[in-house]
Every structure is written in C-alpha cells, then in structure tokens.
Structure 1
Amino acid sequence: MNRSAEVTSARATPSLGVWLIWLYAFWILTTPYLSPKLSFLATIRFERLLAGILICYSGSQMGVCYRNSKPLILFGTFFLICLVSSFTSPLGGIERAEHWLAEYWKVALLFYFIVYSVQTKEHVYLVLLGISAISLGYQLLSWRDFMAGGSYVFQQGIKRMVGIWSGGGIGAANGYAITTLFALPFFHLWTYYDNSWKRRFVKMLGVGLSIASIVFSGTRGAILVGITVVASGVLIFSRRRIQLLALAATVLGVAYGFMPEDLRIRYTDQFLPHSESRATDTKADEIASSSAEGRIEGLKDGYALFLQRPLLGWGPGTSGAARDSLPNAPFREEELQLHSLYGQIIAEVGLLGTLFFIMLNWNLIASLLRVVKSSIPLERTLAGLLLTSFTIYWLYGFISHTLFNQEWILLFGLSTVLISEYEWARSELPTESHLVDSSLQSPAGWGTCG
C-alpha cells in the first residue's frame, strides 16, 4: 500500500476518543491549572470530569476492537505492585508518597483510556500529530512570556527557561525540556501526507523551537540525548547523512554563539576546564559540576536502598527521603530525588516492580520492531517514531527520575493500539491456499476498527 491509498482514511474526522485524548494530553503535558486565567478548570474539577467522560466512552468501546492482552496484563500488574509497595512502605506517610497515591491512579487510567478509545492506526497518527501541535502552542506561549521576562527559574547559578504554566516548582526546567524532547520526533508527521510549504513551515518551526527550548532550559541531559538520537537516526536512515550532520553542526555552532554566558558555562564546563568563561562564574561552574556528579550518586544510592528492601522497595515517591537514612548520608536542607531512572526504579518498587516494568517495555519494543517491517508505510513510520521516543526516555533515564512521568503512559497506550492493529491485520491475511489459517484467527467476537 502506498501513501496515496492511505490519505482518505488518515484524514478522517477525529473520533470522540481522539478529541478526549488530545484534551487529556494537553492537561498532563502543560498543567494549565497553574495559570490564573485558567484557574476555573480546577474549580469545576475539570480533570475528574474529563476522566469520567473517558471512562464512559472507553467502556463503551471495549469489545469493539481486538487488543493484545500482554501489555494490559503487564501494566496492570506493575501498577498493583506499586500500590502494594506504597501500602507496605515505612515512608508511606511522606508528602511525595501520599501525592503519588492520590494522583497517579488518574494517569494510570489514561493507559486504558488510550487502548480502548484510540481505535485505529490512523487515530494513533492523529493523536501524535495533536501532541506535537500541543507542544508547539505551549512553546510559543512560553517563549512569548520568556522574552517578556517571565517563564524562567534561577537554578544552579543560571537563568533556566520553563513552561509558562510550570514556573512555580523547582525542577520545572528539566520537566519542560523532557516534555519538549518527547514531542520533537512527532513533528515529522506534519509532512507525511501533505508536503505543502505551510506544513513544512510548521514542521521546521516546531523542530527549531523545540531545540531552542531545550537549550535555554539549561538541561544538559536533554541536549546530549537529543543529539545522540538524532545523529544515530541520520546515520542509519538518511541518504544525505553528511550534509545533514554538517548542517546540524553549523546550527549548534551558531546557537552557541548566541547563548548567554551562563548557559555557555553550563554546557562547556566539563569539556573546557581552563576556558576563560569558567573563571567568570566559579560558583555556577561548581554547581553544574556537582549536578553531573549527582547522577552517578543517584544510581549508587538507589542500589544501596534496593539492598535494604529488595522485594518491593521503599514505595513510589519515597526514594528522596529514604536516601537520607543511608549510612554517612550528607546533610541536605531539602529532600533530593535520585536523578536516575534506574536508581529510582530499583529503590522505589524493588525487584518485582523492576521486573514487570522491564517486561512491559521489552514486550512493546520487540513488537514495534516487528511493526517497523510492515508493508504499510504509516505503520512503519508510527512504529519508528514510537521507538525513537522509547529510546529518548531510556537514555534520559540515566540522568533523571522519570519512572512516573506521564509520557510513559502515552507511549505504552499508543504502542499497544498500533501493535494490536498490526496483529489484527495479519490475522486476516489469507494463506497461499486462500484460506485463513486457524492459528492466525483473531479471538471470536472481536470486531475490526479499521
């Protein structure tokens, strides 16, 4: 099947489920309730209202489409282990643990909302396109505010850009960077069917603005992961790899030239220890260096905490408080989270939680690698983009505690839908004798969503 044969179905009107997922994605990616102009959303309990509507809608769609049961079981088991770990934790009463218990179930439900509300691969395409549009709009608003003197926090000796609605909490710069990086690959879809100049402009604007947002957030890990993933993709898949890499190097060089001095220090202190810029702000340099070292300490402390409670861990949200109980732990004025996904997961959910989290990711990634070989271009493209985002999150896990980020849920849910649709289509293909092999038939009673 070529792209021209796909255009009609892919441009179908978004279903109610797609609109609801767009709304939910907007809510969890931008947290708009922090804006005084949108405070009425909290007043009307918008999040609970939307969740209730999604429950009703997705419930009405159960049984309509075939869905691979393995990701559903693995995710459900992982969440139950997290609950048991939380209830049995000696630190279950701290603020972060109570916040997880009170809030994360709504995010976990989103996985099942996506699985049963997003019905076809064309809907997956529309949801990812919508996520990139949400990211672009959010960044435009944030840049407008940033240029006017807002949307930033002063951390680690530098001025760091944050999202317009996320400036109230520490660490928002890192969150803004990873959310932006997560949506970055999906801008490719803007020119998938329509290569008009308007679509190309939106794609270029989205990619360029995303890179600028990540750079000005001062998040070195996001920069490193982004460069690694993009460079690898260009080297493996592009026919113009030399030209594109040269262009990327030029853009980075120009961007470096326009960077404020404090950002230059943050990005170069590890590589230019004797540079002139290093002497201009020793304090910022020292803080930046200790930030990098803290990632290694996070992994080490996570392993030490795992040895104390190996089966179920200390409970979701507790690793920051638990590390203060370690032998020879330094005094800290505030709770410091483990800046490592791998340290966080073994410390907070133990061996059982880690095992099921890895099994869930392994199942989805292995299945997406099969979908990449599909004869249908849209399936191949969507699988490739989802695999890119999985790669981003696993690499970013080396320098941040991302275990309970909402973006994981979007990846898990949309991957499950795409994989299930791929398996359903294969189950309906005739054999060489023009008969359907009974071993490939889909479960009785399941309909087609296409």
Structure 2
Amino acid sequence: MNVHVDGAVHDVAKHLQADLENLTAGMTAMFVDVIPEFRHDDAVRRLMIASTSSNLLAILDMLALGISLDDITVPPAAAEYARRFAQHDLSLEALLRAYRLGEHMVVQRAMTALGRLELSMEDALATTSRIALLTNSYIDQVIEGVIDIYENERRRWDARSDAARAAQVRAVLDTEGLDLASAEKMLSTSLRGWHLAAIIWTRPGSPAQAGAGLRAGAAILAAATGKTPLTISADEQTYWAWISSAGKPVLDVPRLEEELGRHPALRIAIGDPSSGLDGFRQTFRDAQRARNVAVTGADPDRSLTLHSHVALAGLLVDHLTDVKAWAERVLGDLMRDDDATIRLRETVQVFLDARGSFTDAATRMHVHKNTVHYRVRKAEEILGHPLTESRLDIEVALLACAQLGLRSVEGARRPS
C-alpha cells in the first residue's frame, strides 16, 4: 500500500467535496446541454440535481473514507430519478450515458485538483489511476442497480398503463349503443377511417422471451403496413393491435412472412380491413376467428394466419364437434388420417378448385394428369358417388379438414 497515494486520494476527495455545489451545477448543466432527455420540467430537474449530487457525494465519501465497494448501493435520490426516467418513457441509454459522462468529469476534476499537490510523477500517476479505477468501479456497480430499477419500473408502469388502455379498448369493443364520438374520446384516437386488427402471440413454452417477442411482433406489423399500431397487452403472451388510417390499410404479406421467419415462437392473426367504429370491432372479431383457426388447425407451425384465407373455417371453428360429425357423414373414409388418404383429399380439393380440370389440377400439383385422374376416381370410389354429387358439401368438408385439422383415425362410413 502506498501511503502517499492514499493520502493524495483523500486530499483530492476533500477538495472536491468542498466544491460539491459547483461540481454538481457544472455536471447537470453538461447533461442538459448534451443529452436531450435531460431537459426536464422544474420538478424532475430538481430530482436530477439531487440524483447527481447524491452520486457525487457517495463517490467522494468512498474516496475520502475508503468505503468498500461492497457497501455501495444506489443512492435513494438516484433510484427515484431512474424510476421517473422510466415513467416518462425516456431511454435507458440516455441515463447510462449521463453516468459515463459524469464519471469522466469526476476524473478530470480530480486530475485538476491533483495538480495542486506536490507529488512525484510516479505518485501522481498512481493517484490518478486509483481515483479512475475506484470511480469506474462505483459507476459500474451503481449502473447495475439503476438498470434493474429502471426496467422494473418500466414493466410496472407499462402494466398499469396497459391495464387502463386495455379496459378502455374492451369497453369500446363491448359497449352496446356507444356512439363514435365517445369511443374516440375513450381511445384518444380517430375511428372514422379504416382499421386492420391483428392478434400477436407467442407459443406456449417461451414466457421468458414473450415480452420482447410481442414488441417485435408489433414492430413487424408496423413495418409491413407503414403505420404504427395501437397495441394493448391482453395477457403476458398476447398483444391486440390495430392499424388505422384514412385510406384502406395495405399489408405487405411477403415482408410480414419473411420477418416472422426470424422469430420462430411468434404468431400473428390478421382480420380483414373495415371502416368506422363498427369496422374497428369487426376486424378484431375477424382476427379472433383467424387466431382460433391457427391454434386449432392443421398447421400449428404456421406463423401468419389471414382471416381472408380462413374466413369459412373461422365460422366453423367454434362448433368443431358438430362440424367433424357432419364432415364424417359427407366424406366417410375419405376422412382417414393415413398419408394416402390425405393425398387423395388434397388432390380432390385442388381438382374441385380447378373446376374439374385434370390438366389444371396436375399443373398446380406438379404431377402427371393421369395421377390426378387416378386419385379422383379413387376418392369417388371411397365416397360411393361422383364428385359432382353434393359437390358443395364435399368442398366445405374438405376445407374443414385442411384448415381445422379434422381427421377420423378409424374412418367413418356413412350409413347405407
């Protein structure tokens, strides 16, 4: 241990303590000048000054009294300022930048004070190094606490804000007889244009990343529409979102699918665009039905579900037991769950969509026309009649199988 260095550190700290008021004023002025987020109203500005002063006093006490880093905690004023920073939705990066700028100023002022002492070059360098190391260690330790305080407050504040906003949105969705002006006042937004609702959720099993995933989903939706969505947290793993605009929203589906491919646990269901207050509600109901198809359906790995692609299945999804019983009566053993029968169903569905053209169906499926012909005849044998008989029932039943994952493992023969 170097006695000269210890004494010099103590003397420098005492000198800075005597000038604490000016040091605090200079540091806070620098923050306001360099960091836009620090340009507060009077009340928060006073808290910023108290936070700065308390951190400076803690650093100087540590240097002057040899206080162990193990005993260092975030000063109360600094903790409250971090919470206020979070409540005002100011960036954590700006707050951390201030701590680093403040660290730099403390070391610079310490070096100036050190110049007044009669020390050898070696002791002066060692003293500067000691002060810089201790100050840096203090800042590192306090920053860890500040980050926890900020993030906890951000979550708490967001949850409270989301709860209030969610209650307002639910009221707009559910209150009968609510007029347009009242609904707009409740949501603080215009409902006169077009709306496109989406439900964003994360798959079960990834709760730790759910919050970040949902925020990513909202950002992806914004990028795919060019509009910032109104979002509320329906639960820990679900966002409700609306894109609103004067004109009909345009959705860049390829971009949306590409971005979702980078987030394997993320899912989005989207309603059809609709206008006005009724449209705000209707597009959300569409999104709900699309989500029901997504979570119930045959393709659980599908990340994007558009209501426009599953509208009929969305009407059927709430009656799965009855729909399955009806589909079994229509399709019989064509409902079986083996690979060969699944191929038959897929072929019949494409064939009917191709208006009975073997050539067109073969082109769509990238198989030979004779393959389509064979599979169609095989399906008709299983059905016991041509596809032209009860064609609409067959098409709806096949769609239910394809989009809702309906299967009959043992088969279901229709009564003769």
* TM surpasses 0.5: no
TM class by shorter chain equals: under 0.3
Higher share in strand: 2
Larger relative contact order (Cα-Cα within 8 Å, sequence gap ≥ 6): 1
Q: TM-score, normalised by structure 1?
A: 0.21
Bigger CA radius of gyration: 2
